[in-house]
């Protein structure tokens, strides 16, 4: 692996740094953006930041110029991402820039790309991802929302759940079952829809952290034009894989706390026998998390090396996502332990390190569920990285309605 920037990469990194230093505040250890991810007030802030990046040439870095992008390389995109996380910037909300864009690029018509991609890049239109259901989350192909053909339209009925920011979204990408007599992976069709379509009901889910950026979405005879279909009828799973692989890339890069924050807290905290940073048990945990952090860093560098050579990375992102989610949860719990009586303090203005461990404790369980549970990721790593035999899937070639009949 070559970890050094090529001359043109170094020049691009410097260009990114100049923009970020002028447009945003440098992040100190333990410092987080002042508005929580789930707060509605984040929406105009993230839209403004997306617009600023677009004007400066850092939005849609790899998107072709004819669709409003910069026509750059995957390596340039990765370099900007590496630099952006060093600054206090609003985290994007919605699935548009990270999951919808790759899906539209791969499956939409040229006319659709020219219409829908530029507003995403400019932060003007928000999208959501309508995938998970009460009966189909980790086993997404087990979904039951139906799409039935009616002339030039499809009529959709069913329910989605855990849909982030559906209450703000203008559009959504939707996978539904169009052929219940086909095996579960082969009877699916993929659409994009207007969230203002009659028959769509969005209902917020109150979360433990206090906000409601997750939603239930109900479809009652919702009509979707066939022109809004992506991919062929019955091949929605192929389209969904494009979305899911990009979701996993993003899921491996989560908000903090991480090693820097727990190390800073250990330096600032006094135990009965002296500073926490001098305690053998504390140092052992710090060493473990440091090793994990370096392992994640070098795995990502392997991915960057592949990108710089024009190659496509393999399933390594499943490794980073698996390790990152568990590590963040452990660090959040241990940070609360070190804070002792200050642990319940969550006000960013008064809590140590702006309440980052409290926020991490409440949010971290979702890291180990969204974009693939730990169990799913272990299967991916076992089969695609280690080359172990596939897990037995007894329902793989069985008609979905036969599975439903057996369950009911």
Say if CB 223 and CB 197 are below 8 A apart: yes
Helix axes 7-23, 42-56, angle to 10 degrees: 140
Is 292 within 8 Å of 298 (Cβ atoms)?
A: no
Among 363, 365, 339, 366, smallest CA distance to 353 is for 339
Q: How far apart are CA 234 and CA 190, in angstroms?
A: 8
Q: How many CB atoms lie within 10 A of CB 329?
A: 18
Residues recognised as catalytic? 247
127 touches 246 (CB < 8 A): no
| 159 contacts 205 by C-beta, under 8 angstroms | no
CA distance 143 to 184: 8
CA distance 172 to 78: 26
Contact in structure between 145 and 160 (CB atoms under 8 Å): yes
Rounded Cα gap, residues 159 and 164, in angstroms? 14
Supply 349's token pair.
């203005």
- Over the Cα atoms of the chain, what is R_g? 22
Report d(CA 251, CA 324) in Å as an integer: 9
Please give the angle made by the CA atoms of 274, 279 and 281, to the nearest 5 degrees: 150
């Amino acid at each position: 692996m070559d970890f050094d920037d090529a001359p043109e990469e170094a020049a691009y990194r410097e260009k990114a740094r100049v923009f970020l230093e002028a447009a945003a505040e440098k992040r100190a250890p333990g410092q987080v953006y002042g508005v929580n991810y789930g707060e509605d007030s984040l929406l105009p802030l993230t839209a403004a930041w997306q617009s600023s990046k677009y004007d400066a040439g850092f939005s849609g870095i790899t998107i072709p110029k004819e669709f409003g992008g910069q026509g750059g390389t995957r390596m340039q995109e990765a370099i900007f991402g590496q630099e952006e996380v060093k600054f206090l910037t609003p985290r994007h909300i919605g699935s548009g820039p990270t999951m919808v864009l790759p899906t539209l690029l791969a499956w939409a018509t040229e006319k659709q790309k020219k219409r829908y991609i530029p507003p995403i890049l400019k932060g003007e239109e928000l999208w959501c991802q309508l995938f998970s259901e009460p009966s189909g989350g980790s086993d997404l192909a087990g979904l039951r929302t139906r799409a039935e053909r009616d002339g030039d339209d499809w009529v959709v009925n069913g329910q989605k759940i855990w849909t982030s920011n559906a209450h703000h979204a203008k559009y959504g990408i939707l996978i539904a079952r169009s052929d219940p007599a086909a095996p579960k992976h082969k009877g699916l069709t993929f659409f994009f829809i207007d969230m203002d379509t009659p028959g769509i009901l969005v209902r917020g889910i109150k979360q433990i952290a206090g906000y409601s950026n997750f939603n239930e979405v109900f479809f009652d005879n919702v009509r979707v034009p066939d022109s809004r279909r992506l991919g062929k009828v019955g091949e929605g799973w192929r389209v969904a894989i494009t979305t899911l692989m990009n979701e996993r890339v993003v899921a491996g890069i989560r908000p903090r706390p991480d090693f820097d924050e727990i190390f800073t807290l250990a330096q600032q905290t006094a135990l009965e026998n002296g500073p926490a940073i001098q305690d053998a048990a504390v140092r052992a945990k710090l060493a473990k998390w440091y090793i994990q952090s370096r392992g994640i860093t070098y795995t990502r560098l392997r991915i960057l090396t592949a990108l710089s050579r024009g190659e496509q990375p393999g399933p390594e992102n499943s490794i980073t996502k698996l390790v990152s989610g568990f590590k963040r949860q452990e660090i959040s719990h241990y940070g609360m332990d070190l804070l002792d009586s200050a642990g319940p303090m969550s006000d960013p203005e008064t809590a140590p390190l702006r309440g980052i461990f409290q926020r991490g404790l409440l949010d971290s369980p979702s890291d180990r569920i969204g974009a693939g549970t730990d169990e799913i990721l272990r299967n991916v790593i076992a089969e695609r990285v280690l080359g172990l035999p596939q897990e037995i899937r007894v329902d793989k070639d069985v008609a979905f309605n036969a599975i439903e009949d057996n369950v009911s």
